[in-house]
Chains A and B, each alone.
Chain A
Amino acid sequence: MKVLFSFLTVIVLVLVAAVGSVLNLKFAFGIIIPYLAFVMFVGGFVCRVIKWGRSPVPYRIPTTCGQQKTLPWIKQDKIENPTSALGVIARMAMEILFFRSLFRNLKTEVSEGPNGPKISYGSAKWLWIGSLVFHWSFLIIVIRHLRFFLEPVPGFVRIADALDGMLQIGLPPIYLTDLFFLLAVTFLLVRRFVIPQVRYISLPADFFPLFMIMSIAISGILMRYFYKVDIIAVKELAIGLAQLHPVLPAGIGDIFYVHIFLISVLFAYFPLSKLMHMGGIFLSPTRNMMNNSRIVRHINPWNHAVEVHTYAQYEDEFREKMKKAGIPVEKE
């Protein structure tokens, strides 16, 4: 049900774009919707981050994954249990660039041993590899796409493009990331189907983005390798969009409109969804804080007074018993 719903939604979106293109609503699909999507993406993203940022972090609650700072002769784990800004930056960089925590992933198995049940913890790096390939390919593909929007094409984009197209089979060159990306997204989707626990926790909101991304990739690949669209015209459109002088060159194939429409929808959907983990990872208090709350005081902006049971009240209740037990008291 959940899967079907997400799948059908994507199919409907593809059809909408195809029909739109055929009906010659190209101005809407090529210009208005992309602009709208861009505004929704940037606006939504910023709003979301501001909304998060408006809530304080009242307590310093890093998850410590290594030795604390303590006596000088005990080696502190400065990255996994940081007490300096540099340590935090290193920790976050490891997390954001290399998915450090996922790398730790284990597979827990309970089996019957000779002396009763046994739990073993195997290495489980598939999810880590899959996500790493997915995200890095995604990034490189986005960078590659900049060549459509920028003239002259900046050096780093050219380099990315050249490296990516290293595999020179036929023309145009096959991008390695296209392959990796499709493989990775398929892997992420398949694991949601086949691992019972993961299927059990999955929601439509988990399948939908995967189907979307997959169809974007497929439409892009079709467009590049099979139903070749007029690249010059695409670039004209893209540069026009980027320079806020949109022009609509004639003769771009319909499939292009499907591609750009799906991307637009994904962008617009982004800030409303779990895809915001992209922004959230930077703000996660368990990872981006120093473990120095015994060294410097952390202030809670809404710290309020609470009712307490004072020593005086305590002594009033127990004074006689305390005296009898020889415990000093304030009032005789």
Chain B
Amino acid sequence: MAKPEKVKLPKPGELSNIDFKTPATDWMDTPVNFKPGTYAWGAKEKDLLTLGLPNPRQWSPADEDWKLPEGWKTTILDGIAERLSKYRSFKIFMDICVRCGACADKCHFYIGSGDPKNMPVLRAELLRSVYKKYFTKSGKFLGRLAGGRELTEDVLKEWWYYFFQCTECRRCSVFCPYGIDQAEVTIIGRELLNLVGLNIDWIAGPAAACYMKGNHLGLEPHAITGNIETMCDDIEDLTGIRIEPSFNRKGADILFITPSGDLLGDPGIFTNMGYLMLFHELGLNYTWSTYASEGGNFGFFTSNDMAKRLNYKIYAEAKRLGVKWIIGGECGHMWRVLNQYMDTWNGPADFLEVPRSPITGTVFENARSTKMVHITEFTADLIKHNKLKLDPSRNNHLKVTYHDSCNTSRGMGLLEEPRYIIKAACNNFYEMPENTIREKTFCCGSGSGLNASENMEQRMRGGFARANAVKYVKEKHGVNVLANICAVDRAALPALMDYWVGGVDVYGTHELLANALVMTGEKERTTDLRGDDLPGKEGNE
């Protein structure tokens, strides 16, 4: 098996030299070019086995032979038929695109690569052409004239290449006159690929870890408690306050679930310290779970069923522990899943109570059924009711801009809450240009499981549009902090900023809050959570 070579990332100057010219040949006649650095490694046999997915085997996308199972073509076509009968969205999106091109230059992958197959309309056409050939009369009779084409091994490879080059960010859907959502098509395309064992390592691995160990990083229970203990040590050094969080505790009022990215590594852990400090200051009766220790859902990038299997743990654990309701941490896909799918998959959550903040008494009517509240909703409510003592001048060394994560903006509409918190916790806040934020926000380029290292070139291309907007506010206002509410952002954006912008650090929103949070009985702070001197306190160290 040929191991795909790890390639050196080209310099920014080379990547930004984007050729938007269309090829001379029709897209159906333009073969897919598996350029190293632009695609991720194939799923490993052991992970497919753990998850019970089809066709576990050793393979690599660099191989000529992908070891497809016997009868793969029938499997795929049957899979399409099944999904057409299950999803109206799929049927409609296959049928009504007028190829007006309004979505074309809205995709960050197209903007960053110039590859026409990264235009959402053409990405959909990769699958639509097969749909036409086998499922419509015109395609059956007229074939290519009607835009139909045979399903061949090359077509399948092309799907794999381009469906794992879409971050399911839905930006195209905002601009399409019919709301055609390429993310939806990609989700279904990936499901089809999974039917014959085609996934990527960076999705199958985390999904398997999450399934067995509760979180996608594969942290075992004692590692989780250990990591959090270490964070508590750091908090003690900083504030003089000892925090004693609880784990898997029955009788707690609230279960807290955050993406496991917050439990390990910089800068996620600073956001996590923020949660710990906030909850301690409030005296919240809550608990962590080592079993449901993941909010993010890598199953969502595999298949609907897999997403449901992973999401199951959240309610199961809430029920086992007997909590009243759930708070969820800062995460992107997690919240798209929780907002649009969780109750349908794993509800009804009738064993829980409608969330009510024990501090302010606010009832979260917008989570009446799921019983799960986003932490920025919870915190914004606290600030509004003056329940927190904040000293925003502690963040004066930071000039902050905010990155809307695709999923919380276009799959939920969580736009104001994080901004409200940041503005309360920081004195210097600057928005990026209007066409790059809120529902028009640009993806980090690494979402939906593409945050691997072997496809770094594609990630940097995908994040080019985001980075460019940050660069704009950096040059204009001296911005040096990119705040967000997503664990993938916290993992992906630092590399992106270093590559395209430089001098901009990535922060979770609750890290900024914790910097500003004046805790009862704390000693005078001389540094922020990262150990950087606070403004006016230099040299106190």
Task: Give the B-binding residues of A (Cβ under 8 A).
Answer: 5, 48, 51-61, 63-71, 73-75, 77, 80-81, 95, 99, 101-102, 104-108, 110, 115-119, 121, 127, 131, 195-206, 272-274, 276-277, 280-281, 283-287, 291, 293-300, 302-303, 306-311, 314-315, 317-318, 321-322, 324-328
Contacts and interface: CB of A to CB of B under 8 A. Distances in A.
B366 A70 contact: yes
A131, A205, A274, A302 pick with most chain B CB within 10 angstroms = A205
A136 B340 CA distance: 35
B358 interface: no
A95 B173 CA distance: 13
Contact of A285 (B89, B249, B343, B465): B89
B22 A199 contact: yes
Contact of B96 (A56, A127, A131, A276): A276
Contacts of B415: 66-68
Interface string B241-258: 000000111100000000
Given A64-B411, A68-B415, A284-B96, 14 more contacts: A60-B340, A64-B439, A101-B179, A127-B101, A131-B100, A196-B21, A201-B101, A203-B146, A273-B138, A274-B95, A280-B178, A285-B88, A291-B413, A295-B368
A105 B102 contact: yes
Contacts of A198: 99-101, 104
Given A70-B366, A116-B16, A276-B95, A322 B105 contact: no
Given A197-B22, A201-B119, A297 B412 contact: no
A241 B145 CA distance: 34
Contacts of A77: 413
Interface stretch (B60-68, B79-87, B232-240): B79-87
A102 B410 contact: no
A324 B222 contact: yes
A325 B92 CA distance: 52
Contacts of A272: 136-138
Nearest to A314: B291
A322 B413 contact: no
A281 B443 CA distance: 26
B414 to A, nearest CB: 6
Interface in B208-233: 211-214, 220-222, 225-226
5 contacts: A115-B475, A118-B468, A302-B86, A321-B220, A327-B248
A64 B412 contact: yes
Nearest to A307: B309
A115 B410 CA distance: 31
B138 to A, nearest CB: 6
A43 to B, nearest CB: 14
Contacts of B435: 106, 121
A297 B439 contact: no
Nearest to A317: B212
Contact of B309 (A70, A121, A308): A308
A57 B145 CA distance: 31
Interface stretch (B194-202, B262-270, B377-385): B377-385
B365 interface: yes
B439 to A, nearest CB: 4
For chain A, what secondary structure do more than half of its interface residues adopt (helix, strand, loop), or is it mixed? loop
B174 interface: yes
B291 A61 contact: no
Interface string B358-385: 0000100111111010000100110010
B91 A119 contact: no
A311 B316 contact: yes
Shortest Cβ-Cβ A-B pairs, 4 listed? A68-B413, A280-B96, A286-B179, A325-B222
B222 A201 contact: no
Contacts of B97: 274, 277
Given A56-B86, A294-B368, A110 B18 contact: yes
Given A199-B22, A297-B369, A61 B116 contact: no
A207 B461 CA distance: 33
A197 B99 CA distance: 10
A314 B214 contact: yes
A295 B365 contact: yes
A50 B225 CA distance: 55
A101 B174 contact: yes
A68 B99 contact: no
B305 interface: yes
Contacts of A53: 88
Given A68-B414, A121-B435, A298 B344 contact: yes
B436 A121 contact: yes
A89 to B, nearest CB: 15
A200 B179 contact: no
